Amino acid sequence: MEDQTKINELQRTIGVLTTNIGLASLKKSFGTFEKSSITSKQINDAFSNAGIKITITELDYLYQTTNWDNWEKITKTLYGIIKPFPWTKEYFDCDQRSSFITATCGLLFSLNTCAGIYCKITNTETGNSDMHWANLIIDKNGGLYLFDVDNGGLTQKITSNNIVMGKWRYELQSLRIY
């Protein structure tokens, strides 16, 4: 029994080291890219410009972002990281997955403008609706994009509060940005 415990401990240690090496390698492969700072006012203005009234919980005062070209690469990378981990009701479902994307984006890319967004979603085929967490990306020009890892990693530029991606219609309810 003691030998198996030592083997398990060694496997965990090797797993942690491999993960750290992989994350460092991934971060290094992106190199440096242009980042810009935006303020809370600019975030609020972006929603106003799209005609969207939304409750925003802001936990920082200054937010780091980049241009949309960089965000496209980042979202593909983030989706690639989360895709192998299955959606599990109540344990690793939309709210945990949205938080994971937010945290991973901060960890790997030092960007805090991939925030959790709470939405009402409606299936365009059946009319069934539910509440859902996804991610909202704000680019350096104040562009708003919906990114949903639970909908195949799709992204959609937001120009109103009537967003359709795949077979889902999203109605934005509140934003949690930190």
Average pLDDT over residues 143-153: 97
| Whether the predicted pLDDT of 144 surpasses 80 | yes
Instruction: Verify that 22 and 79 share a domain, yes or no.
Output: no
CB 118 within 8 A of CB 103: no
Q: pLDDT tens-digit profile of 95-129?
A: 999 999 999 999 999 999 999 999 999 999 999 99
Instruction: Verify that 106 and 166 share a domain, yes or no.
Output: yes
Q: What is the CATH number of the domain that holds 64?
A: 3.30.460.70
Instruction: Verify that 21 and 44 share a domain, yes or no.
Output: no
Record the tokens describing residue 178, joined without a space. 């930190």
Print the domain residue range for 171: 34-177
Instruction: Verify that 67 and 155 share a domain, yes or no.
Output: yes
Instruction: Verify that 90 and 114 share a domain, yes or no.
Output: yes
Instruction: Verify that 80 and 148 share a domain, yes or no.
Output: yes
CB 169 within 8 A of CB 148: no
Q: Against a cut of 0.95, is the pTM above it? A: no
Q: Considering the chain, what percentage of its residues have pLDDT values greater than 90? A: 73
| Whether the predicted pLDDT of 1 surpasses 70 | no
| Whether the predicted pLDDT of 64 surpasses 90 | yes
Angle between helices 68-82 and 94-109 (to 10 degrees): 120
Record the tokens describing residue 49, joined without a space. 């410009």
Name which of 57-61, 84-88, 129-133 the model is least confident about.
Answer: 57-61
Instruction: Verify that 128 and 100 share a domain, yes or no.
Output: yes
For the chain, how many structural domains are there in total? 2
What is the C-alpha to C-alpha distance for residues 20 and 106, in angstroms, rounded to an integer?
A: 15
| Whether the predicted pLDDT of 21 surpasses 90 | no
What is the C-alpha to C-alpha distance for residues 30 and 32, in angstroms, rounded to an integer?
A: 6
Instruction: Verify that 14 and 46 share a domain, yes or no.
Output: no
Instruction: Verify that 51 and 139 share a domain, yes or no.
Output: yes
Instruction: Verify that 85 and 133 share a domain, yes or no.
Output: yes
| Whether the predicted pLDDT of 27 surpasses 80 | no
Instruction: Verify that 7 and 50 share a domain, yes or no.
Output: no
Question: Residue 56: what pLDDT?
Answer: 92
Instruction: Verify that 145 and 61 share a domain, yes or no.
Output: yes
Angle between helices 2-30 and 68-82 (to 10 degrees): 160
